[in-house]
Each structure stands twice: as C-alpha cells, then as structure tokens.
Amino acid sequence: MINNLVFVIVFLLGFYAILVKKNLIKMVIGLNIMEGAIFYWFISITDRGGMIPIVNGTQVASQMNDPVPQALILTGIVIGASTSAFLLTLIIELNKFTNSTNPDQIGGMIED
Amino acid sequence: MSIALILLIIVPLATAILIPFVDVFSNTARKLLVGFSTLVEFSLGMFIIVSNFRKIMDNTFYLTYYLGEWIPPIGITLSMDMLSLFFSTLISFSLLFLVIYSIGFIGHHEGKYYVLLFLIWAAMHGIVLTGDIFNLDVFLELLLITSAPLVAFKRNRNGTEAAIKYMFYGTIGGLFIFIGVVLVYYNLGTLNFADISQNFNTLSLFVRKIIASFFLIGIFIKMGIFPFHFWLSKAHSACPSSISALLSGVIVKVYVYVFIRLFWNVIGFDVLVETGLDHIILVVALISSIIGHIMALYENDIKRTLAYSTIANLGMIIAVLTLNTKLALLAGLLHVLAHLLMKVSLFTATGYILQFTPGHKREDLKGVAYKNMLVFVGFIIVAGGMIGLPPMIGFASKWYVLKAFMTDGLSLAAVIIIIGSIFAFVYYIKYIITGFKKMTLGPPDKFRLILTVFYRERVVTDIALFFAIAVLISGIFFKVVFGPIEGAVEVIQNPSFYIDYILSG
C-alpha cells in the first residue's frame, strides 16, 4: 500500500513540474521524475522475498524475485535516458534561436 | 513460422544502421542502398501477399514467428493476420512512394534523413506485427524518438518548438501506456497479447476499467484526439512536406491500428461497453472532428489547415470505430485507407506548390495554378475527395461512415460529419480560388534558390500526380478492397481467432 502511495505522490510531483514550472529543463526533470516513479513502483510491487532468480536446488521458486520486471525497467531506463537527452538537445537548439528556456515563448504547452 | 515477418523489421533497421557508414564513402552508394532496401522491403510485403493469396481470399490467413523459438506465452511473438496485413501493406505502399518523392524533394542532409526514415519504417512494422505488449511500447517510443528529429529537420525556430512539444506530449502518452503495461503484468503475469486476451475477463471490473483508461489516454495523447490535440498542428506543419505526409498520413494510422488491436483483440471491447467508456470516446471523437474542421476554417496557413483536417478526420475514424458494428468497422478501415491516400497526396502536391511561393500563407499562393496546372488540378481533385465529392475515394468512405451512423440511429453524429464536410468545402475552395488569382510570382528568395538547385522537379510532380490518380481510380474501384477489409473486420470482431492461432501455433 505504501508503495502505491509513494508512486502516486512522486508521479504527481513530476506532473506538477511539467504543468507549473516556467523552465523547459525543469520540465524535462519533471518527466524524469514521473518515469522514476513508475520504475520504483513496478520494482516494488513485484517484489517477492528478494531471492536472486537462479535455480540451484535449494532456492524456492515462490521466494525468487521475478526477473521480467527488472528487464522491462532496464529497457524503460534506456528509453527514458535517450528521450531526455534528445529533449535537452532540442532545448539547447531553441536557446540558440531565442536566448531563453521559457515554455511560454513557444506558445506554452496547451496552445497551438 | 515465417521468416518474412522478422525480415520486415530487420531490413529497414539494418539499412538505417548501414547508411551512415556507406554515406562516408560515396553519395551514389548510399542512394543505391536506399533504393535497394526500399525495393526489398516492398517486395517482401508483396511476397507475403502472393504466396498466401489463396488463404487471404478464404479469410484464413495468419502467419507467426517466435523470436528465439520460445513458444508463447513465453517470449516475443510476431504475428500477421488480415488486420496487420492491411496496415502493413498501406505502410509499405506509401513509404515506397514517399522515399521516391524524398529523392527529388530533400536535397540536403540526405544521409541523416534516410537513417531516420528507415528507423520509422522499422518501428511502424514492429508495431503492426508484434504480439507482445511491452514490445509494442518499445516500438511506440522508437517511433516517437525517430519522428521528432524529422519534425525539427529544417533546423529553424518553428521546427524546434514543434519538436519539443511533440516530444513532451509523446513521452507523457508513452508513460501512460507504460503504466498500463505495468498493471497488466502485475495482475496477469504475462505480456503476450493472446494470453492477456484469454485471461483478462478474470480481473475485477475496477482493475479492467483502470487499465483500459490508461491505455486509452496514452493512445489518445499520441494520436492527437480532442483534449490533447495541441501539439499536432504545429508538429505536422513545421517539417518538410514529405515528412508532413508521413506523419499526417501514415503514422497516425499506426496509432489507429494500436487502438483497434488493444481495444478489440487484447483488452476486449466489452470492458468499454460495461463501463460506459465507449460513449465517452464517441463524444470526444466527435468533438475532435468538429473542432478540427472549425480550426482549419480559421487557419491561414495551408500546411496547418491540412494538419487540422487530420485531427478532424481522425476523430471521425475513432467515432465510427466505437460503434462496433460490422458496417462501422468496415467504414472506419475504408476511411483509414482513403484518408491515408488523400492526405499523402495533398501534402506531396503542397510540397511541390510551396517551392514557388514566398511563404505558407494563403496570400502567398496567388497564381500557383499557372506554374504547373497539372499538379494543381491533382490538388483540386484530391481536395474534392477530402470534402467527399463523388468520383473520389473520400466519397465512398464518407458514405459508409454516414451509413454506419444512420443504421445505429445516431443522426446527430451524421449531421456533425456533414457540417464538417461543408466546412472542409469552404476552406479548400478558398485555397483553390487563391491559386487561380492572376498574379506574377515574385522572384524566390536566395535560400529557396539554393534549395531548388538540388530539387528534382520531375520526380516530385510525378509522385504528386500518381497519388492524385490513385485517389481517383481507387474511388471508382473501391469495391476491390472490400474483400481484405472484411477479412480484417472478421479478425477484429473475433478475439478467439487471434487467441487460437497464436497460442496453438
């Protein structure tokens, strides 16, 4: 239960950063916080006793941690890293044109 | 087991990796590689169709490929049925001609351009073929991160702003889908589509509702349906026209595929009906449709008008699909085909026309009709199809959409579609009239002059005309595609068929 609560709070913190902060780099950090919340949540809710999933006779299958979520999260981390790297590149590029990182100058996020 | 399925993903992926190395040595070698891979990829799709032609006709067509020979539900499964085949063929067909168009159109930084284009191709085929929900998520992210650099391809302020917005919205959409994947894995312990589909109804209604909502929000953000449409017009208009055609014509259709596959074959449409979500989707999609048309009416920039028209048409497709009758699904898939052809055609023709104008505004288009009458006539024909005038395929698809709404007794929805068509008529006719206004075109500015040196007019006009003719011809012989579309509708409506052929081999 505490895991779900932490997930919701941290996820909403990241979402708050994206909605409210007036700096594109802080918004990227908010995106990373949201991703981190999901990774933490996925790891914690699939935890089953913390044994390493290597079968050697004495291990009990029900106590082994499931390796699939860890593989998924590794992939997720790679995706998240590349996404934020590319976003930061774009922000540097925008900074060259306008000399600022304020999201309002690009029309904000909810205008077109 | 069919090796062709994995080759459909590997060929463009390998080409994308090879292009930078070949590009170092010579331009000609890179062009040959691009042309060769495009042909190989296209003929792979044709080979699948030809070698399984009898099965396709009997509606018993399916192919599977197990990665690493792991039998499902363990491991990643690639599968192709009529629905995947329909979308895969559309992707290969339009990409083949868009690559040829790009040869004449781009003219600078071609190496980088083709790397990204082939990665997009691989990602789209991956989405269409995969049978694993996390694999789907990865391919969706690959599609996002390879199309965003192309949005910023012009390296001006407008393109960069559009790409930043596109990335923010797309990533948040991806996160929602990822939460859906986490919930599915936590509750069912499986990632295989067929396995999820088999066991999904054992979950409580509350959990099913939550999972469905997360997937729905994620897909709608990525697709640009009404409350999340803010990024679309900018992203689809800031890039070169060949990429606009790709984004607006093809990539949004891939998201329609994801919507259909997840909500009919994997999660099951029952959960939407039980929770009343289908009414919400219908209303939201109709609002999206009318808002897209109204915004297009007030827009003064031709590429942005076309982008808003995409929002409108996409809303219409989603609205008609949620009716979940045989006729409605048929109409939705027919409009997917029609809108793909028409939007690609409009953007290719616009890309040609805009080479001679000082800007994208409506006033700038004065006199373009006299520059190349043939292409402009093509533009008029396709715009007519977009409005829904008889000989074009747009008429056929809109007719079936209206018929589906009327049979379900939703005459209000039909009225909204008709009002939207009237708006479309108004905004397209404005551009066409401006095009015919007598005015000498001023000398193009220096930057454009440099671009036109690289610009091969012949290829570009030929492709633009080809798509216009395709719209016209397919409007007359549209009954030909009814066979495959009915097969696809059968797959959509029978999740048990999907479960059977994946889990039993």
- pLDDT per residue, tens digit, chain A (112 aa), is 898 999 999 999 999 999 898 899 999 999 999 999 999 999 998 887 777 777 777 767 777 888 889 999 999 999 999 999 999 999 999 999 988 888 887 766 666 6
Least CA distance to B148: which residue of chain A? A86
Pairwise CA distance, residues B418 & B399, whole Å: 10
Distance from CA of A58 to the nearest CA of B (A): 24
Distance from CA of B129 to the nearest CA of A (A): 20
Over 90: is that where the pLDDT of B146 sits? yes
Q: Decide which of A51 and B39 is more confident.
A: B39
pLDDT digits (tens, 9 = 90+) for B150-192: 999 988 888 999 999 999 999 999 999 999 999 999 999 899 9
Q: Averaging pLDDT over each range in B82-91, B222-231, B441-450, which range is the top one?
A: B82-91
Q: Is B342 strand, coil or helix?
A: helix
B278 CB within 8 Å of a chain A CB: no
Over 90: is that where the pLDDT of B366 sits? no
pLDDT digits (tens, 9 = 90+) for B246-285: 999 999 999 999 999 999 999 888 888 888 889 999 999 9
Q: Which of A25, A68, A79, A110 to mutate to test the interface with B (most CBs of B within 10 A)?
A: A79
B207 CB within 8 Å of a chain A CB: no
Measure CB to CB from residue A87 to each of B155, B167, B232 and give the nearest one: B167
Distance from CA of A51 to the nearest CA of B (A): 18
Chain mean pLDDT for chain B: 90
A98 CB within 8 Å of a chain B CB: yes
Size of interface A-B (CB pairs under 8 A): 85
Over 90: is that where the pLDDT of B328 sits? yes
Over 60: is that where the pLDDT of B32 sits? yes
Least CA distance to A93: which residue of chain B? B160
Over 60: is that where the pLDDT of B449 sits? no
Q: Where are the alpha helices (DSSP H) in B52-156?
A: 53-58, 82-105, 110-129, 133-151
Asked whether B292 and B315 are in contact (CB, 8 A), the reply is: yes
Pairwise CA distance, residues B219 & B217, whole Å: 6
Amino acid present at A77: I
Say which DSSP state B246 is in: I
Consecutive H or E run containing B377: helix B373-387
What per-residue confidence (pLDDT) applies to A49? 74
Query: Binning pLDDT at 50, 70 and 90, where does residue B450 land?
Result: low
Measure CB to CB from residue B152 to each of A42, A82, A90 and give the nearest one: A90
Q: How many CA atoms lie within 13 A of B248 on its CB side?
A: 35
**Residue B464 belongs to what domain range?**
3-503
What per-residue confidence (pLDDT) applies to B72? 83
Distance from CA of B152 to the nearest CA of A (A): 8
Measure CB to CB from residue A31 to each of B161, B171, B229 and give the nearest one: B171
A12 CB within 8 Å of a chain B CB: no
- What average pLDDT score do residues B81-85 get? 93
Pairwise CA distance, residues B418 & B405, whole Å: 12
Least CA distance to B180: which residue of chain A? A38
Phi/psi region, residue B372 (left: phi>0; alpha: psi -120 to 50; beta: rest), is beta
Distance from CA of B165 to the nearest CA of A (A): 7
Measure CB to CB from residue B167 to each of A90, A98, A112 and give the nearest one: A90
Q: Which of B166, B178, B232 to mutate to test the interface with A (most CBs of A within 10 A)?
A: B178
* Total count of domains within chain B: 1
**Partners of B14 in beta bridges:** none
Domains and CATH numbers, chain A: 2-49+62-106 (1.10.287.3510)
**Residue numbers of B between 284 and 343 with CB closer than 8 Å to A:** 295
ipTM score for this prediction = 0.94
Pairwise CA distance, residues A23 & B333, whole Å: 42
Measure CB to CB from residue A79 to each of B138, B161, B229 and give the nearest one: B138
Contact list in A for residue B144 (CB cut-off 8 A) is 83
Q: Do A86 and B149 touch (CB under 8 A)?
A: yes
Contact list in B for residue A27 (CB cut-off 8 A) is 168
Q: Which of B116, B153, B165 to mutate to test the interface with A (most CBs of A within 10 A)?
A: B165
B25 CB within 8 Å of a chain A CB: no
Contact list in B for residue A31 (CB cut-off 8 A) is 168, 171-172, 175
Q: Which residue has the tokens 């085949």?
A: B85
- What average pLDDT score do residues B426-443 get? 81
What per-residue confidence (pLDDT) applies to B441? 57
User: How far does Cα A13 stand from its chain's mean position?
Assistant: 12
Q: Do B179 and A106 touch (CB under 8 A)?
A: no
B164 CB within 8 Å of a chain A CB: yes
Amino acid present at B325: T
Q: Do B230 and A82 touch (CB under 8 A)?
A: no
Contact list in A for residue B148 (CB cut-off 8 A) is 86, 90
Query: Binning pLDDT at 50, 70 and 90, where does residue B448 land?
Result: low
B231 CB within 8 Å of a chain A CB: yes
A32 CB within 8 Å of a chain B CB: no
Over 80: is that where the pLDDT of B437 sits? yes
Q: How many CA atoms lie within 13 A of A96 on its CB side?
A: 10
Query: Binning pLDDT at 50, 70 and 90, where does residue B440 land?
Result: low
Q: Decide which of B445 and B429 is more confident.
A: B429
Q: Is B192 strand, coil or helix?
A: strand
pTM for the whole structure: 0.94
- What average pLDDT score do residues B368-390 get? 89
Write out the two tokens for B386: 């977009």
